[in-house]
Amino acid sequence: MRSVPVSEHITWVGAVDWNLRDFHGFETSRGSTYNAYLVSGSDKVALIDTVKTQFVGELLSRISDVMDPAKIDLIVVNHIEPDHNSGLVQVMAACPNARVVASASGVRGIAEYHDGLVVEAVGAADVIDLGGVTLDFLPASMVHWPDSMFTYCPEDAVLMCNDAFGQHLASAERFADEVGVELALEELRVYYSNILLPLGTQVGKVLAKVAAAGWAPTTIAPSHGVIWRGEAVGRALAAYEEWGSDDALRDKVVVVYSTMWNSTDELAKTVADAVASQGVDVELFDLAVASIAQIMREILDARGLLFGSPTLHHGMLYRVAGFLQVLAGLKPVGRIGAAFGSYGWSSGATKQIGERMTEIGIEVVQEPYTQKFRPTADELEAARVWAIEFAGKVKAAGV
């Protein structure tokens, strides 16, 4: 299989997962890649990261396009999550002379994943010389696991940063400028929203450490998706800086709901229209058909969140409850919200939604709008007034 040059001394030898459609609950409509890189010096060759077990054959085939895998001298494990680490033992078997290194936390994790397998720890003070080509290391704890690490090749100015700057995007092309920078940035946003959103502070700290170390990458080579080079590097860095800043939120409301007999659906559409009438951007999602990954993509910069559900068995529908559980894990900060919904013989959903929002850290700024049975014209007008009040609070919160 074809390997792809990344820079003078670095070659992409990873795997393309065209059929991936779910990444622990995150819908991946464009598939993904598991990127690995060969770094060649005059004396030694290093392999940066490995792949999922079922893709080891693909990885070794691409390595063989460049060299005999048995001649690899070093394997660097930047992250121990199974999509990068589960194939490690098989790769080691094909590279019997290779020294294996990881962060200190990664060393412990590898031993736990692979039945006591012992590898060496490297850290920020370590430099490995491959013969005129060197590798520097930077622990990147919680970007996005405790063991995460960045590896940098200063001679080629290439940053191999594992999940940071990644996207779930399968393609025959290896670079953002080849698939289209706008497409790559869109998938970068979806990935950040669904995986790195709760870790913005940690991402910012690690990027500050990259700058403090004097690393100045002209290429960013992540473990998923396409590689950033040229002007695309600056755009990717600017996107991360924007999403992690205190000014990321804007006057925008995301309305997320589920419905049984369309009463809550009517309310949702009325509420969304009323918010939009106040000059506030709106995105509307019915959880029966919407992708959670795309909802989170919109929540990334939305200041206001409205959740709607009819009452079933004194509580909210399971779709709404499930989505709020996803949201709890992603820990959005700085958002305000409210609940709306309908009921038949007994209410309870909107109260439960409000309580869950408070637990998540979303500030509930007004009483819920709760409707019995199908709303009349007057009741829809009342819902409009309620939503207009919420839109005003969104704008006020942004001042």
Dihedral angle over CA of 252, 257, 262, 263, nearest 10: -70
Is 224 in the active site?
yes
Asked about 182 being catalytic, the answer comes back as no
Residue 83 known to be catalytic? yes
Cα angle for residues 63, 64, 68 (degrees, 5° grid)? 100
Give exposure, 133-143, as e/b (b: 16+ Cβ within 10 Å).
bebbbbbbbbb
Considering the candidates 17, 49, 58, 79, report the single residue annotated as catalytic: 79
Give the active site residue among 81, 147, 301, 379: 81
Please tell me whether residue 354 adopts helix, strand or coil conformation. helix
Query: Which of these is catalytic: 49, 136, 163, 251?
Result: 163
Q: Is 144 a catalytic residue?
A: yes
Decide: 50 and 110 in contact? Cβ < 8 Å. Answer: no
240 is catalytic: no
Which one is catalytic: 49, 83, 156, 266?
83
- Position 348, amino acid: G
79 in active site: yes
Q: Which residue is catalytic, options 37, 191, 240, 369?
A: 191
Residues near 247 by beta carbon (within 8 Å), at least 6 away in sequence: none
Residue 370 near residue 350 (C-beta atoms within 8 A):
yes
The active-site residue out of 9, 84, 144, 168 is 144
Question: Which of 24, 115, 247, 313 does the annotation list as catalytic?
Answer: 24
Q: Which residues pair with 102 in a beta bridge?
A: 77, 121
| 115 Cβ contact partners less than 8 Å away, ≥ 6 residues apart | none
Catalytic-labelled residue, pool 224, 257, 265, 298 = 224
CA dihedral for 155, 157, 163, 167, sign (positive or negative): negative
Distance between CA 343 and CA 312 in Å, rounded? Answer: 8
* 314 catalytic per annotation: no
DSSP letter, residue 42: S
Q: Which residues are catalytic?
A: 24, 79, 81, 83, 144, 163, 191, 224
